[in-house]
Amino acid sequence: MKSLAEMDDQQLQNVTAQGKHMLFFDAAWCGDCRFIKPQMPAIEKEYADWQFVEVDRDKFLDLAKDMDVFGIPSFVAIKDGQEVGRFVNKDRKTKKQIEAFIDNLPA
Protein backbone atom coordinates (compact mmCIF):
# COMPACT_ATOMS: atom_id res chain seq x y z
CA MET A 1 0.00 0.00 0.00
CA LYS A 2 1.33 3.42 -0.90
CA SER A 3 1.44 6.07 1.78
CA LEU A 4 0.49 9.70 1.32
CA ALA A 5 3.69 10.51 3.21
CA GLU A 6 5.43 9.50 -0.02
CA MET A 7 3.59 12.13 -2.09
CA ASP A 8 2.20 15.63 -1.67
CA ASP A 9 -1.42 16.69 -2.18
CA GLN A 10 -0.85 17.66 -5.83
CA GLN A 11 0.73 14.29 -6.57
CA LEU A 12 -2.26 12.62 -4.87
CA GLN A 13 -4.63 14.51 -7.18
CA ASN A 14 -2.53 13.52 -10.18
CA VAL A 15 -2.41 9.88 -9.08
CA THR A 16 -6.16 9.66 -8.43
CA ALA A 17 -7.09 11.42 -11.69
CA GLN A 18 -7.31 8.10 -13.52
CA GLY A 19 -8.17 4.66 -12.25
CA LYS A 20 -9.63 3.40 -8.99
CA HIS A 21 -8.11 4.52 -5.69
CA MET A 22 -9.05 3.83 -2.10
CA LEU A 23 -7.84 6.33 0.50
CA PHE A 24 -7.41 4.63 3.88
CA PHE A 25 -7.36 7.25 6.66
CA ASP A 26 -5.73 6.09 9.88
CA ALA A 27 -3.46 7.23 12.73
CA ALA A 28 -0.76 5.53 14.78
CA TRP A 29 -2.65 6.01 18.07
CA CYS A 30 -5.95 4.63 16.74
CA GLY A 31 -6.80 1.24 18.23
CA ASP A 32 -9.51 0.55 15.65
CA CYS A 33 -6.98 1.31 12.89
CA ARG A 34 -4.50 -1.15 14.42
CA PHE A 35 -7.36 -3.68 14.56
CA ILE A 36 -8.00 -3.58 10.79
CA LYS A 37 -4.49 -2.84 9.51
CA PRO A 38 -3.33 -6.51 9.57
CA GLN A 39 -6.30 -7.32 7.28
CA MET A 40 -5.43 -4.67 4.71
CA PRO A 41 -2.96 -6.78 2.66
CA ALA A 42 -5.66 -9.43 2.15
CA ILE A 43 -8.22 -6.78 1.20
CA GLU A 44 -5.76 -5.19 -1.24
CA LYS A 45 -5.06 -8.57 -2.82
CA GLU A 46 -8.78 -9.34 -3.16
CA TYR A 47 -9.46 -5.94 -4.75
CA ALA A 48 -6.39 -5.66 -6.96
CA ASP A 49 -8.22 -3.30 -9.34
CA TRP A 50 -8.10 -0.66 -6.57
CA GLN A 51 -4.91 1.20 -5.65
CA PHE A 52 -4.89 1.64 -1.87
CA VAL A 53 -3.29 4.78 -0.40
CA GLU A 54 -2.76 5.09 3.35
CA VAL A 55 -3.33 8.61 4.70
CA ASP A 56 -2.13 9.42 8.21
CA ARG A 57 -4.94 11.63 9.42
CA ASP A 58 -2.72 13.43 11.93
CA LYS A 59 -0.08 14.33 9.32
CA PHE A 60 -2.71 15.35 6.76
CA LEU A 61 -5.34 16.87 9.05
CA ASP A 62 -6.20 19.64 6.55
CA LEU A 63 -6.86 17.07 3.83
CA ALA A 64 -9.01 15.02 6.23
CA LYS A 65 -10.99 18.14 7.15
CA ASP A 66 -11.36 19.14 3.49
CA MET A 67 -12.73 15.67 2.76
CA ASP A 68 -14.98 15.65 5.87
CA VAL A 69 -13.13 12.70 7.37
CA PHE A 70 -13.43 13.12 11.12
CA GLY A 71 -13.54 9.51 12.27
CA ILE A 72 -10.94 6.84 11.65
CA PRO A 73 -10.36 4.33 10.26
CA SER A 74 -12.19 5.57 7.19
CA PHE A 75 -12.18 4.81 3.49
CA VAL A 76 -12.82 7.15 0.54
CA ALA A 77 -13.16 5.62 -2.93
CA ILE A 78 -12.07 7.75 -5.90
CA LYS A 79 -12.55 6.68 -9.51
CA ASP A 80 -11.08 8.78 -12.31
CA GLY A 81 -10.67 11.76 -9.99
CA GLN A 82 -14.24 11.68 -8.61
CA GLU A 83 -15.36 10.39 -5.24
CA VAL A 84 -17.67 7.41 -5.76
CA GLY A 85 -18.16 6.27 -2.19
CA ARG A 86 -17.08 6.57 1.41
CA PHE A 87 -17.09 4.47 4.53
CA VAL A 88 -16.39 7.26 6.99
CA ASN A 89 -17.21 7.11 10.69
CA LYS A 90 -15.49 6.57 14.01
CA ASP A 91 -16.58 2.95 14.42
CA ARG A 92 -14.34 -0.12 14.29
CA LYS A 93 -14.57 -1.74 10.89
CA THR A 94 -14.25 -5.41 10.09
CA LYS A 95 -12.78 -6.99 6.98
CA LYS A 96 -16.27 -8.16 6.03
CA GLN A 97 -17.71 -4.63 6.34
CA ILE A 98 -14.93 -3.14 4.22
CA GLU A 99 -15.41 -5.82 1.57
CA ALA A 100 -19.17 -5.14 1.52
CA PHE A 101 -18.46 -1.42 1.09
CA ILE A 102 -16.13 -2.06 -1.85
CA ASP A 103 -18.52 -4.62 -3.39
CA ASN A 104 -21.29 -2.00 -3.42
CA LEU A 105 -19.24 0.70 -5.19
CA PRO A 106 -20.14 1.51 -8.81
CA ALA A 107 -18.21 -0.60 -11.32
Of these residues, 4, 23, 33, 98, which one is catalytic?
A: 33
- Which sequence spans correspond to the domains of the chain? 2-103
Mean pLDDT by 10 residues, the chain (107 residues): 70 85 94 95 97 92 87 95 92 94 93
Q: Identify whether 30 is a catalytic site residue.
A: yes
Of these residues, 4, 12, 22, 30, which one is catalytic?
A: 30
Q: Strand 82-87 vs strand 74-79: parallel, antiparallel, or unpaired?
A: antiparallel
- pLDDT for the residue 5: 66
- pLDDT for the residue 48: 96
Which homologous superfamily does the CATH classification assign to the domain defined by 2-103? Glutaredoxin (3.40.30.10)
3-state DSSP helix/strand/coil percent for the chain, to nearest 5? Answer: 40, 25, 35
Q: How many beta carbons lie within 10 A of that of residue 36, not counting itself?
A: 20
Contact 28, 69 (CB under 8 A): no
Q: Identify whether 33 is a catalytic site residue.
A: yes
pTM: 0.89
- Phi-psi group of 73: left, alpha or beta (phi > 0 → left; psi -120 to 50 → alpha; rest → beta): beta
- pLDDT for the residue 1: 77
